[in-house]
Homo-oligomer: A and B are copies of this chain.
Amino acid sequence: MTQMRILLEESDIPTHWYNVVADMPNPPAPPLGPDGQPVSPERMLAIFPGNILEQEMSAERWIPIPEPVREIYKLWRPSPLCRALRLEQALETPAKIYYKNEGVSPAGSHKPNTAVPQAYYNAQAGIKRLTTETGAGQWGSSLAFAGQMFGIDVRIFMVKVSYDQKPFRRSMMQTWGASVFASPSNLTESGRKVLAEHPDSPGSLGIAISEAVEEAAGRADTNYALGSVLNHVLLHQTVIGLEAKKQFARAGDYPDMIFAPCGGGSNFAGVAFPFLADQAAASAPKKTRLVAVEPTSCPSLTRGHYAYDYGDASGLTPLMLQYTLGHDFVPPGIHAGGLRYHGASALVSQLLKEKLIEAVAVAQVGTFAAGVQFARAEGIIPAPESCHAIKACLDEALRCKETGEAKTLFFNLSGHGHFDMASFDKYFAGQLEDYEYPAEEIDAALDRLPKVG
């Protein structure tokens, strides 16, 4: 009888993260300062601990996972690899569909995979407080949980409009002991400046980042933590793919195609990079296509410029070579908050440029339809971000139905949708729209990219 959930033991939690840099045909393009010169590590030490910076720059293939981090991972890891048998039957496809359920973590998504080691390394470095920003609250709640595990105070600047309209993730952060501030706040220079000009500012992720970075840079006992984009974040997420490889071995199967939602790129990298390692080592039983799935309303990978750009809206970060729609890009109403990002991780971008991975964009309404179909077959209500991977996977399963191919398809269920039911409500009420980002807007962004050097 086909097993529906392939479970591993605690001892199967990976002992090392996989660093894709070791297997890249070309070294990653370095982050640059405003002067066009590579950024010195010293500058970053103001807000990141040494261990994390080392990981950020490392080209070692395997990086050990500290035992205290593995101990916390055990609260929910290894996560199940599930065979979506009922979904296959509903689609009448000859394809086999698997998904990794990252929604089983305390915060309900893959984000704690990196929040936990970030909190650990900062605690090791004697740091007492971590600051960060959050929009809808996925990342904030994950860092709140992780900080609680290692006795670190977490201070979260939450975009004011979300703070007011989406109180439940805020309560979640408070349950784990974090302090949450509506941003712009009067706790920082950046916040006070905005408030002086716009007392009713609804806030933005850019402003919240400025506040969090300002607090971290100004206090020796305080660091800053980022939830996606950077190399070390992608590194930590590789536990997903490493576990999945063991689980596929148990199932006696191997994916032909892997789908993951892609905003900054960390959950895509987490599930896909360990399979890229098999390709690089020529040890893979087959050629696996790795597909990053993004929204048509925010199509950085499929339609963006490959250029040096800032990682944040305010231009505070170093410049990174990436696919970008311009750091001042403001995506239209889109209900997958985690995919509302102007660019993409440098590693993911470079691998796409070098054609080792693929990207596809899907439109919003169809992602919710796919998510509902998944929920009705498999029982789990997916996060809107995850619905993007489901949509691309279902499209492929239906292609397989036409061609009769029994492909093995695998997607990352990056999180559950328990805190996103308002978006499902809008979907059922027919209030969601598709949005195709206009070509002239994308062209125009080219002129606004920062000049390098």
Complex contact B76–A379 (CB within 8 A):
yes
- A74 to B380: give the CA distance in the assembly, Å: 13
- Stretch of A201-209, A295-303, A306-314, A419-427 contacting B (4+ beta carbons < 8 Å): A419-427
- Stretch of A174-182, A251-259, A319-327, A432-440 contacting B (4+ beta carbons < 8 Å): A174-182
- A176 to B376: give the CA distance in the assembly, Å: 5
- A422 to B378: give the CA distance in the assembly, Å: 28
A381 within 8 Å of B (CB atoms): yes
Complex contact A145–B379 (CB within 8 A):
yes
Question: Could you mark each residue 347-385 of chain A with 1 if its beta carbon is under 8 Å from any beta carbon of chain B, else 0?
Answer: 000000000000000000000000010011011110000
A418 within 8 Å of B (CB atoms): yes
Question: Could you mark each residue 1-18 of chain A with 1 if its beta carbon is under 8 Å from any beta carbon of chain B, else 0?
Answer: 001110101100000000
Q: 8 Å CB contacts to B: which residues of A62-114?
A: 74-76, 104-106, 108
Other-chain residue from B167, B375, B379 in contact with A425 (beta carbon distance below 8 A): B167
**Chain B nearest CB, measured from A432 CB (Å):** 13
Q: How many residues of A contact B (CB 8 A)?
A: 38
**Chain B nearest CB, measured from A339 CB (Å):** 20
Closest residue of B by beta carbon distance from A73: B4
Residues of chain B within 8 A of A372, CB atoms compared: 175
Complex contact A176–B375 (CB within 8 A):
yes
Complex contact B172–A381 (CB within 8 A):
yes
Known: A5-B75, A7-B9; 17 extra A-B contacts, CB below 8 A, are: A3-B10, A4-B74, A5-B10, A7-B7, A105-B379, A106-B379, A148-B376, A167-B422, A168-B418, A171-B422, A171-B424, A171-B428, A175-B376, A175-B421, A175-B424, A177-B376, A418-B419
Closest residue of B by beta carbon distance from A380: B106
Copies in the complex: 2
Give 4 closest A-B pairs by Cβ, nearest first. Answer: A106-B379, A168-B421, A171-B421, A418-B418
- A10 to B304: give the CA distance in the assembly, Å: 46
Q: 8 Å CB contacts to B: which residues of A367-426?
A: 372, 375-376, 378-381, 418-419, 421-422, 424-425
Complex contact A168–B10 (CB within 8 A):
no
**Chain B nearest CB, measured from A251 CB (Å):** 13
Q: Which residues of A contact B (CB under 8 A)?
A: 3-5, 7, 9-10, 74-76, 104-106, 108, 145, 148-149, 167-168, 171-172, 174-177, 372, 375-376, 378-381, 418-419, 421-422, 424-425, 428
Closest residue of B by beta carbon distance from A425: B171
- A104 to B176: give the CA distance in the assembly, Å: 20
- A418 to B419: give the CA distance in the assembly, Å: 7
Closest residue of B by beta carbon distance from A75: B379
Closest residue of B by beta carbon distance from A371: B175
Given contacts A74-B5, A76-B379, A145-B379, contact A422 B176 (CB under 8 A): no
Closest residue of B by beta carbon distance from A3: B10
- A359 to B168: give the CA distance in the assembly, Å: 33
Closest residue of B by beta carbon distance from A146: B379
Complex contact B172–A421 (CB within 8 A):
yes
- A108 to B106: give the CA distance in the assembly, Å: 13
Residues of chain B within 8 A of A419, CB atoms compared: 418
**Chain B nearest CB, measured from A369 CB (Å):** 11
Residues of chain B within 8 A of A175, CB atoms compared: 372, 375-376, 381, 421, 424, 428
Residues of chain B within 8 A of A106, CB atoms compared: 379-381
Closest residue of B by beta carbon distance from A108: B418
Residues of chain B within 8 A of A5, CB atoms compared: 10, 74-75
